């Protein structure tokens, strides 16, 4: 099952399917899970990782909220969706910055996922802004 197919099958999406937004939804879902896992892994590290745990947890929650809002397409609130995408970008940039400071594999993976999610959210916003 694909979240992209689920969004495309929505009766109010039809010809207005936004591939970039669907990709952002998919990556926000992945990013939420990876940030959550990274926060947990950080709690098992010997060094003090409180800031990383906080940033990863915030990013996970924001990504979750973003993909949930973006998958509800009935009478969509475009202004709210755009704000969610912008907030998701901001959270992902902050998390990428924090995680990229750490050499452990889970933080490096999290930083990469955050970069991909932020890039996809930017592309989705660009398409939404072009299409009104």
pLDDT per residue rounded down to tens, the chain (132 residues):
576 565 555 545 555 656 788 889 899 999 999 999 999 999 999 889 999 999 999 999 999 999 999 887 766 678 898 999 999 999 999 999 999 999 999 999 999 999 999 999 999 999 888 876
pTM of the model: 0.89
Q: Which of 101, 91, 47 is nearest to 66 (CA)?
A: 91
Exposed/middle/buried for residue 48 (C-beta within 10 Å: 0-12, 13-18, 19+): exposed
Domain ranges of the chain: 3-130
Question: 3-130: what fold?
Answer: Substrate Binding Domain Of Dnak; Chain:A; Domain 2 (1.20.1270)
């Amino acid at each position: 099952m694909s979240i992209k197919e689920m969004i495309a099958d929505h009766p109010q999406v039809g010809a207005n399917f936004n591939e970039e937004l669907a990709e952002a939804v998919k990556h926000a879902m992945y990013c939420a899970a990876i940030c959550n896992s990274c926060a947990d892994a950080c709690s098992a590290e010997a060094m003090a990782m409180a800031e990383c745990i906080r940033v990863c947890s915030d990013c996970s929650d924001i990504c979750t909220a973003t993909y949930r809002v973006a998958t509800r397409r009935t009478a969509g609130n475009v202004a709210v969706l755009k704000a969610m995408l912008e907030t998701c970008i901001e959270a992902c940039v902050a998390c990428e910055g924090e995680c990229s400071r750490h050499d452990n594999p889970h933080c490096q993976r999290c930083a990469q996922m955050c970069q991909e999610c932020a890039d996809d959210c930017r592309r989705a916003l660009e398409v939404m802004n072009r299409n009104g």
